[in-house]
Copies of this chain bind each other. A is one copy, B any other.
Amino acid sequence: MNAADPPFVSHLQSLLPAACFRAPTPGYFEEPRGRFHGVPAPVLAPATTEEVAALIRACNSARVGVVPYGGGTGLVGGQIQPDGPAPVVLSLERMRAIRRPADPRENVLVVEAGMILADVQAEAERVGRLFPLSLASEGSTRIGGNLSTNAGGLNVLRYGNARDLCLGIEAVLPDGTVFNGLTRLRKDNTGYDLRNLLIGAEGTLGIITAAALKLFLQPANRMTALFVVDSPAAALDLLALARDVAGEAISAFELIGRTGFDFLTEHFPDLRQPFARPPQWAVLTELGLSGGGDAQAALEALFEQAAEAGLVSDGVVAHSQAQSAALWALRETIPAANKRIGSIASHDISLPLSAIPDFIETCSTALAALAPFRINCFGHLGDGNLHYNLFPPQGQSRDAYDNIRKQATKIVHDHVHAMAGSFSAEHGVGRMKTGDLETYGDPGKLFAMRAIKAALDPNGIMNPGAMLAQGH
């Protein structure tokens, strides 16, 4: 691989308009948790698919790496190349046009990859529709990055991951070929599924430049409740009961543990907590009913039945959208509380639903044998996806735990793997978890991934070092 050195940048200047060349400000070389710092590199922001293709063709000819950059919000270093020859950082920030306005009849919206997620949501809402992808970073994250990482978030239980929300994509392949797959069709069985191959490939097989997105009906009637349960097993029983009562209208089912409530008390004392004593476990659930349904009444019926069945010992059903927002604030403030405390290690894991109670029990026991961690286990229980983050005891610094961080993560990921789970449920592999993919990935899968990577990107220019460790 060659560096994007001044002569190469001069060559690019002969190919592309001056507006494509951006000041390489620090933001392009940092990521939210400060774990990766990029090598200095030129930053280019093409305005059209043709300009992206010209840039990629030039990089491929010169064997210069390309690091795609969306909103910069990824949590596994997929957007940051920390070492090696300087790549070109390819930012999608100037490609944010609406190619085809939100259409409430077709329930489709076609946008360019650089559109901010919140703007995508707003365009759907403009015509009374919902684009359900929703993340903490939605005000800055870009849809192309969401697709390239197959982002998850808060509404996966009902609507699926980013992959499930996309009908078609346009992409530039590693040799500069444009893949025109921007279909608005719901059914199209004419060849290999390149769309899903590029979605979640983290920019290692090409650059997604535009996408046709699925829109959904706005649930007319939404309401939220917070229920206290004895255990994760009881939470899963509650989920089953909730499905009996409310069918597929459950749009969120989030676990919050005692540690999470304690963190909020410590660092956000003004945030009103609904229970006198922080519960051991609680579940935040939201129903979104269409037609004439009454979500609050359904949640109250669920509360009654769950209490009768001994699944729920306390709870609160919101009676207004303001109360609903206050309950959500508890869940959504947990990451900020985590950040203030400073985690030793964080894990974005998924498990088969039935394995979750056993995992929570046995993994915490194994970790306790290593050190007196505080474990904040919370997240998208309905999807089997937990954020399982380790913190030092109150009053201690995380730095003291530097030497056992890797060991702790190995314990967590070994337990997850033994229970048929995943070491990365929604954040992806990036550069942080390439080792985990080598360790836990199926050999047949790795073999096929390498063959596909070599076939589509023989020079290895696309996001070098992400997803697949280099040197293989």
Chain A interface residues (CB < 8 Å from chain B): 103-106, 108, 149-150, 152, 156, 161, 163-164, 173, 177-181, 183-194, 196-197, 199-201, 205, 216-217, 219-220, 236, 240, 243, 245-249, 289-291, 293, 298, 350-354, 380, 383-385, 420-429, 433, 436-437, 440-449, 451-452, 454-456, 467
Distance in angstroms from A435 CB to nearest chain B CB is 12
Q: In the assembled complex, which residues on chain B have CB atoms less than 8 Å from the CB atom of A177?
A: 443-444, 447-448
What's the Cα separation between A178 and B443 when bound, in Å? Answer: 9
Distance in angstroms from A296 CB to nearest chain B CB is 14
Q: Which of chain B's residues has its CB closest to A202's CB? A: B189
A291 x B103 contact (CB < 8 A): no
Evaluate whether A384 and B187 lie within 8 angstroms (CB atoms) in the complex, with A103-B354, A240-B105 already known: yes
Q: In the assembled complex, which residues on chain B have CB atoms less than 8 Å from the CB atom of A220?
A: 247
Evaluate whether A200 and B194 lie within 8 angstroms (CB atoms) in the complex, with A183-B422, A185-B351, A352-B106 already known: no
What are 27 A-B contacts defined by CB distance under 8 Å? A103-B354, A105-B236, A149-B189, A161-B187, A161-B189, A164-B164, A178-B444, A180-B442, A186-B385, A187-B380, A187-B383, A187-B384, A187-B426, A188-B422, A188-B424, A193-B193, A193-B196, A193-B199, A194-B445, A220-B247, A247-B289, A247-B290, A247-B291, A248-B248, A291-B293, A293-B293, A454-B455
Evaluate whether A190 and B441 lie within 8 angstroms (CB atoms) in the complex, with A106-B353, A177-B447, A179-B448 already known: yes
Q: In the assembled complex, which residues on chain B have CB atoms less than 8 Å from the CB atom of A178?
A: 444
This chain's copy number in the assembly? 2
Q: In the assembled complex, which residues on chain B have CB atoms less than 8 Å from the CB atom of A380?
A: 187
Q: Which of chain B's residues has its CB closest to A246's CB? A: B291
Q: In the assembled complex, which residues on chain B have CB atoms less than 8 Å from the CB atom of A427?
A: 189
> 8 closest pairs, A vs B, by CB?
A247-B290, A455-B455, A196-B196, A179-B444, A188-B422, A187-B425, A451-B455, A184-B352
B191 x A429 contact (CB < 8 A): yes
Q: In the assembled complex, which residues on chain B have CB atoms less than 8 Å from the CB atom of A184?
A: 352, 420
What's the Cα separation between A70 and B249 when bound, in Å? Answer: 36
B190 x A197 contact (CB < 8 A): no
A187 is contacted by which of B191, B192, B197, B422 (Cβ under 8 Å)? B422
What's the Cα separation between A422 and B190 when bound, in Å? Answer: 7
Q: In the assembled complex, which residues on chain B have CB atoms less than 8 Å from the CB atom of A103?
A: 354
Q: Which of chain B's residues has its CB closest to A427's CB? A: B189
B447 x A173 contact (CB < 8 A): yes
Q: Which of chain B's residues has its CB closest to A428's CB? A: B189
B173 x A354 contact (CB < 8 A): no
- Most B CB contacts (10 A, CB to CB) among A149, A193, A384, A447 go to A193
What's the Cα separation between A149 and B444 when bound, in Å? Answer: 22
Distance in angstroms from A191 CB to nearest chain B CB is 6
A183 is contacted by which of B104, B181, B187, B420 (Cβ under 8 Å)? B420
Distance in angstroms from A416 CB to nearest chain B CB is 10
What's the Cα separation between A191 and B450 when bound, in Å? Answer: 10
Q: In the assembled complex, which residues on chain B have CB atoms less than 8 Å from the CB atom of A193?
A: 150, 163, 193, 196-197, 199-201
What's the Cα separation between A261 and B177 when bound, in Å? Answer: 48
Distance in angstroms from A19 CB to nearest chain B CB is 26
Q: In the assembled complex, which residues on chain B have CB atoms less than 8 Å from the CB atom of A247?
A: 217, 219-220, 289-291
A105 x B454 contact (CB < 8 A): no
Q: In the assembled complex, which residues on chain B have CB atoms less than 8 Å from the CB atom of A383?
A: 186-187
Distance in angstroms from A158 CB to nearest chain B CB is 10
Q: In the assembled complex, which residues on chain B have CB atoms less than 8 Å from the CB atom of A441?
A: 190-191
